[in-house]
Amino acid sequence: MLALPAESTGTGLVSIAMYVTSEPLAYATADLWSFLRNYLSKAGLQDVPEKLDRTVGYDEAWLRPDLLLSQTCGYPFATRLRGRVRLVATPIYGHPGCDGALMRSFIIVRKDSALRSLEDLRGTTAAINSPDSNSGSNLFRAAVAPLARGGRFIGRIIETGSHGGSIAAVAAGRADSAAIDCITYANIGRFDPGDLKRVRIIAETPKGPGLPFITSGNAPDERVQLLRNALRAAIEEPSLAAMRAALGLVDISVLSEADYEPLLSLAGDTLPQLRA
């Protein structure tokens, strides 16, 4: 297996690590940054990092004052990053379940499970990747909340740390269900379908705005616009067709902070409080 460069050079932090769990995705993301870097450098931005930083945790990068570009989850953006970082653009993916800048999650159970509907999940065990995940927790909660009685529905929650871990937990019988965002579901189905063959979809969650690209809160308007221009150029560049196909990337959309506020109304109580 080829080794990807681990460290960045130059000033500023670039960490795009939300969808890099397989080698094709990691290399496509590196190709995307290579193009963006060249564009930014030619536009006059100084000391742009040559490589993506793979040493900083994806969530540790978000509030770094030297952040040039990263990607965050919609729910953390709505709850704790708004006003502290600047929105650059929201990628639009072409996978099933995506709807422009909006995305949904698929609620899965084991392929041989007797569970057939959301109502059947009452009192069962759910796997979530993390409590602050929009796709794995917040949208899941929104899907089952109408069925709750006294704010209780799910019997037990286990936290797996990743969507892949949640799929594995369901496939192995450690959990009865999980919510997997449509982008991750498509990526795993294309590049690492092992555990996915052992599960099936029983429902879809409500939709919400996708995972935005962000830069530091102190970035001037000119830098934000330059980053948007670079991303737009990457969408339109013919030589990047293979990169876009690997990522499922078809466009970008510039959303406002207000566009992410509906995620807060979906949240209500957190999923672990929806006990049976």
Question: Model confidence at 272, in pLDDT bands (50, 70, 90)?
Answer: very low
What's the whole-number mean pLDDT along residues 74-91? 95
Q: What is the pLDDT of residue 185?
A: 97
The DSSP line for the chain is -PPPP----SSSEEE--SS-SSHHHHHHHHHHHHHHHHHHHHTT--S--SS---SS-HHHHTT-TTEEEEE--HHHIIIIIBTTEEEEEEEEE-STT-BTTEE-EEEEEETT-S--SSGGGTT-EEEES-TT-IIIIIHHHHHHGGG-BTTB-BSEEEE-SSHHHHHHHHHHTS-SEEEEEHHHHHHHHHH--TGGGGEEEEEEPPPEE---EEEETT--HHHHHHHHHHHHHHHH-GGGHHHHHHHTEEEEE---GGGGTHHHHHHSS-GGG-B-
Count of residues making up the chain:
276
- Whether the pLDDT of residue 11 is over 70: the answer is no
pLDDT grade for 268, boundaries at 50, 70 and 90: low
Q: Which pLDDT score, from 0 to 100, does residue 270 have?
A: 43
For residues 162-181, average pLDDT: 97
Judged against a pLDDT cut of 70, whether residue 2 lies above it is answered with no
Average pLDDT of the residues in 118-129: 97
CA distances from 116 to 119, 120, 176, 204, 216 (A): 8, 6, 11, 13, 44
Q: Which fold would CATH assign to domain 102-208+268-273?
A: D-Maltodextrin-Binding Protein; domain 2 (3.40.190)
The model's confidence at residue 4, banded by pLDDT at 50, 70 and 90, is very low
Structural domain boundaries in the chain: 13-71+213-254, 102-208+268-273
Choose between 246 and 272: higher pLDDT. Answer: 246
Give yes or no for residue 171 having a pLDDT over 50.
yes
Per-residue pLDDT at 9: 41
pTM score over 0.85: yes
Task: State the average pLDDT over residues 75-89.
Answer: 95
| Cβ proximity of 104 and 206 under 8 Å | yes
